[in-house]
């Protein structure tokens, strides 16, 4: 793993123990980062709400490892994990969350970031709003003929948005190089998805638009990576879009402001999913492959050190100048 948190060789087949250890370190980085950001939100150092990604790390890492640098990514408000898996600097990301001028967006966006250096277009705070943006990026690549692909992450709650269905229809009819990754964690805020949709398999939504739809265990990073790799390859070859339903779970809660959420989940449900924690599953496989526990411990230590350094550098970063308040808002007249 690079010092930015990106798996070193996106786009290649990750199957060796060394590759999987790289996955493990990136997932550990995301886990350590999210826990620290929740603590710092309680301490009011983080500006704005925190939507933790704890429990879903395998989805971000598995998908982003299947991408090339030229590919576009669109995230949502739970986007720290996507950014770190894609290669965003933890230092710049943390400075943004602290509202500092060295942040990705000059300290003005908080959790809703963009990162042009890694082709992250936006992480939208509007449910479902990133999906047509990703379709626009995919259409741009198609028109230019450059072979790039657009990937968009969204939760199961986004499928209730009308614009999502419009985009599904357009993506299929125009065979856009688009990969739609639904992080199906079973909840929409505090509401169980089964109370909103009559069918628990969300594949039917995509299939209703005749889009290729693939289910995957979202807590198995290698399964996610294979599914994403197939979808990206199909998009690049002109075979059109793919909808991936990654079944996963948030082991923390939906949202935190100053204090941790009091949201409650059924204990039996929590026990089931915590036993299937993506880091536990990957660690078990690595140990079975002969990787020493000390290697896993060192990966976690390196991840923790990256987070500690990012926080300290963000604390030392300057606040935006008053003269910067109205920059990056309106286009300058030519």
Distance CA 101, CA 278 (A): 35
Residue 123, both tokens: 């992480």
Torsional sign, CA 123, 128, 133, 134: positive
Distance CA 21, CA 11 (A): 16
Chain centroid offset of residue 220 CA: 15
| Count of Cβ atoms closer than 10 Å to residue 233 Cβ | 14
Tens digits of residue pLDDT in 197-254: 776 789 999 999 999 999 999 999 999 999 999 999 999 999 999 999 999 999 988 7
- Secondary structure element (H or E) that encloses residue 42, with its range: helix 17-42
For the cut 90, the answer to whether the pLDDT of residue 144 exceeds it is yes
Distance CA 57, CA 34 (A): 10
Rounded to an integer, the average pLDDT of 53-77 is 97
Counting residues of the chain whose pLDDT is more than 70, the rounded percentage is 92
The pLDDT of residue 331 is: 57
The pLDDT of residue 15 is: 64
Q: What is the length of the chain?
A: 334
The pLDDT of residue 10 is: 41
Cβ-Cβ contacts under 8 Å for 318 (sequence gap 6 or more) = 100, 101, 102
> Strand pairing partners for 245?
182, 215
Cβ-Cβ contacts under 8 Å for 103 (sequence gap 6 or more) = 92, 93, 94, 95, 96, 97, 109, 314, 317
Cβ proximity of 214 and 245 under 8 Å: yes
Distance CA 32, CA 300 (A): 8
Distance CA 152, CA 181 (A): 6
| Count of Cβ atoms closer than 10 Å to residue 243 Cβ | 25
Cβ-Cβ contacts under 8 Å for 192 (sequence gap 6 or more) = 186
Cβ proximity of 139 and 192 under 8 Å: no
Distance CA 182, CA 244 (A): 6
Tens digits of residue pLDDT in 248-307: 999 988 777 788 778 888 899 999 999 999 999 999 999 999 999 999 999 999 999 999
Average pLDDT, the chain: 90
Nearest to 183 by CA among 269, 270, 244: 244
Nearest to 202 by CA among 224, 186, 223: 186
The pLDDT of residue 14 is: 58
The pLDDT of residue 108 is: 85
Q: Pick 21 or 190 by higher pLDDT.
A: 21
Rounded to an integer, the average pLDDT of 52-78 is 96
The pLDDT of residue 334 is: 47
If you ran DSSP here, which 8-state letter would residue 111 be given?
Answer: T
Q: Pick 96 or 160 by higher pLDDT.
A: 96
Tens digits of residue pLDDT in 22-44: 999 999 999 999 999 999 999 99
Domains, the chain, with CATH or none: 17-316 (3.40.50.970)
Q: What is the Cα Rg of the chain in Å? A: 19
The pLDDT of residue 194 is: 78
The pLDDT of residue 329 is: 67
Rounded to an integer, the average pLDDT of 301-322 is 96
């Amino acid at each position: 793993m690079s010092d930015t948190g990106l798996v070193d060789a996106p786009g290649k087949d990750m199957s060796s123990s060394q590759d999987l250890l790289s996955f493990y370190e990136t997932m550990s980085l995301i886990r350590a980062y999210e826990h620290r950001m929740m603590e710092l939100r309680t301490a009011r150092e983080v500006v704005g709400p925190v939507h933790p990604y704890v429990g879903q790390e395998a989805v971000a890492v598995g998908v982003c490892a299947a991408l090339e640098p030229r590919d576009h990514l669109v995230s949502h408000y739970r986007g720290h994990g996507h950014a770190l898996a894609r290669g965003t600097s933890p230092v710049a990301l943390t400075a943004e969350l602290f509202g500092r001028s060295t942040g990705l967006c000059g300290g003005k966006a908080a959790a809703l970031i963009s990162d042009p250096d890694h082709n992250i277009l936006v992480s939208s705070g509007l449910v479902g709003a990133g999906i047509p943006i990703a379709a626009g990026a995919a259409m741009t690549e198609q028109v230019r003929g450059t072979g790039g692909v657009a990937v968009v992450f969204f939760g199961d709650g986004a499928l209730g948005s009308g614009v999502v269905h419009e985009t599904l229809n357009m993506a299929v009819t125009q065979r856009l190089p688009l990969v739609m990754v639904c992080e199906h964690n079973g909840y929409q805020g505090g509401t169980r998805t089964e109370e909103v949709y009559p069918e628990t398999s969300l594949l039917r939504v995509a299939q209703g638009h005749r889009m290729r739809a693939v289910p995957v265990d979202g807590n198995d990073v290698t399964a996610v990576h294979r599914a994403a790799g197939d979808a990206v390859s199909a998009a690049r070859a002109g075979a059109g879009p793919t909808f991936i339903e990654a079944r996963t779970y948030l082991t923390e809660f939906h949202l935190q402001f100053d204090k941790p959420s009091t949201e409650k989940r059924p204990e039996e449900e929590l026990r089931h999913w915590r036993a299937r924690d993506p880091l536990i599953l990957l660690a078990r496989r690595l140990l079975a492959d002969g990787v020493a526990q000390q290697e896993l411990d060192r990966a976690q230590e390196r991840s923790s050190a990256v987070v500690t350094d990012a926080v300290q550098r963000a604390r030392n970063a300057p606040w935006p100048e008053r003269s910067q308040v109205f920059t990056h808002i309106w286009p300058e007249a030519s």
